[in-house]
Structure 1
């Protein structure tokens, strides 16, 4: 299709660039046409839908033209191969005393239908008289023309408008609806750019993580000659006073005085659900780095089985005294020496 093959056609139809099956091309076309028909879109996205609908139709027509050109080439090659084999066979018969050699027929002219009769049956094309002598200069003319027309109305999309939506661990744990307001650029009727405040509702699902993105297509900034950009919201997590998230687990740090770690300690805290939990350490020594795991009390697993949750890991940090008097140091040495 000319020096610059319109690879954009395949991208528009969302098919592989080596696709040669007309059935695959038609299937992709039908699905996209149903999705981007302008009558199915509200006024806010109708301009984009019209542009995409036209681009999809043009890409479909251009690829069908390309398939037809390939079919003509195949037909010409088959005809030429058959003619050469027939001539060789007649020559062998003549040399062997068989049937007399017939004078070779004049080369056949391969005809290609014009684009106006592309969808007509083969027999109707041959009888319609709307044929032309095939030549190499005609190959891809329809495709190049389609590519030029396609390039004339394909418009770029404005860059996405990126925003952050801050959520608490409680909101990410239970899920919620967040109302977010932001300001976008819009193009007025006289081509100027004005500011417009927009409100969107984001449905936060349980278990969403930091960095999760929510995209509102066509609700970002507008630029003259471009399709409206998208509004992209990225989830961030507000720092929690007690818990820290690690994957699907929650981590709670608890500071234990050295004397309590050695002689016994009671500890109370609340789960993310608000339920109060109390632990008592009477017969065990809390060592530095000691960790206790509560299964299934972490964050919900986004996209996992219903009810699937991570774990709660309580990490104990033993607090040592910064200073000791000589008397206390001596007393501790005597006590601890007997524990060795």
Structure 2
């Protein structure tokens, strides 16, 4: 059967970055890894397919060859060996799966898998900090066998690797070692597996945790909870939990790093005559002085009214951009007043005196048409 395209296997575009490839492989590995799908031959095959695809595409030279020649780049000696050959060489140096789940084949039983969790926060929760309860589906240590995988607590030294968890073999001029295929790198075998975990030492459960979110976090920040990931096989070290922060949009404020921005509507009379208005901040309302003849779009800076940095604890600023509103639903009296007010602007001199931006615009238009018709 012909091989699937490596990019299709990982579910990424052909111009995917190294980070995109790593994320895609991690998703694939966590979904199909044999430890999470015991006895599932299809999942094991899918895992091997993902691993092979990543080993080729994560290497710049091999990816370039694959992009040019496809799978043929690694057949009949082209490129120095098949994809399987590269996988074997990867065992010498440790592969990406070891980095994700905490250990390579040469280290014996690997640690538990790291777990990712995306936490959505309101702007207020992100700015002031919050304690959040999260429920995470994960693998936890089996209680009846205390993670050993043995129903009677008895384990035997593996006859294949003699307890080392590794086997060494010769391939050409290379001497290689990898996890023992008989005991899976544990160095021990179980004659009477635990019925609850089927000898795996771990069971699927939903774990509830209290996560403390520090004040000042923002979208893209990551919080690490050591040892709160999946339990490791055979009682080995657990993985970690990584909480990725996502801050929801706010109805008033837009955040830019440690600064906040908001739009403040004012009446035309307030803009023309000046006024003192109250504007919202995350710590309550404050006064903002609007000078006379303020134009729509003018930006006012309120120092230290932004977000305290999660790292330096230095506060950012709040930027208020005023928007002059056109009045609506006018009464007859208001319309009459505005019509009489507008009449005072009639005439070129009055227009230039009271509407400098409009006059500049009109002069620019006249100059444009003069150039077009000359």
Q: TM-score of the superposition, structure 1-length normalised?
A: 0.46
Q: Which has the larger radius of gyration?
A: 1
Instruction: Give me the TM-score of the superposition, normalised by structure 2.
Output: 0.42
